[in-house]
Amino acid sequence: MDCIFCKIVKREIPSQIVYENERILAFRDITPQAPVHILIIPKAHITGLNDISRDHTELLGEIQSAAKEIAEKENISSSGYRVVTNCGKNAGQAVDHLHYHILGGRKFSWPPG
């Protein structure tokens, strides 16, 4: 399968990895939208949020916990940060491998554009 993020998991494409365990990987976004912009992904290929099931509950919980740990390491916990996943065309999902953006280091507006 020709998936950029699967290639990052397999180290076929270089990335700046900031967190890794058996099931998940986190690395810096190549086009950062904030001073801190990190992507957290499951190592297994899941196309997007529409493709998760109850079987993924533990994995998704682990991703949330990793987001918290990464925010602490990046010193954005107290200033605040955003964790977001884009699902499908209207949300602007560009890479069809489930990923969560962790954004921090600046103030964000709400509602999002």
**By the criterion CB under 6 A, which residues form the site for ligand DGP?**
4, 13, 15, 27-31, 39, 86, 92-95
Query: Is 45 noted as a catalytic residue in this protein?
Result: no
Residue located via tokens 């196309």: 47
Q: Which of 37, 45, 99, 101 is catalytic?
A: 99
- Select 25 or 71, whichever has its Cβ closest to ligand DGP: 25
Contact assessment for residue 85 and residue 43, using Cβ atoms and an 8 Å cutoff: no
- Select 69 or 96, whichever has its Cβ closest to ligand DGP: 96
Helices (H), the chain: 4-9, 57-73
Minimum separation from the CB atom of position 17 to ligand DGP (A): 9
104, β-bridge pairs: 36, 81
Q: What is the rounded distance in angstroms from the CA atom of residue 69 to the CA atom of residue 71?
A: 5
- Select 83 or 95, whichever has its Cβ closest to ligand DGP: 95
Minimum separation from the CB atom of position 86 to ligand DGP (A): 4
Residue located via tokens 């940060």: 81
Contact assessment for residue 42 and residue 53, using Cβ atoms and an 8 Å cutoff: no
Residues serving a catalytic function are 99
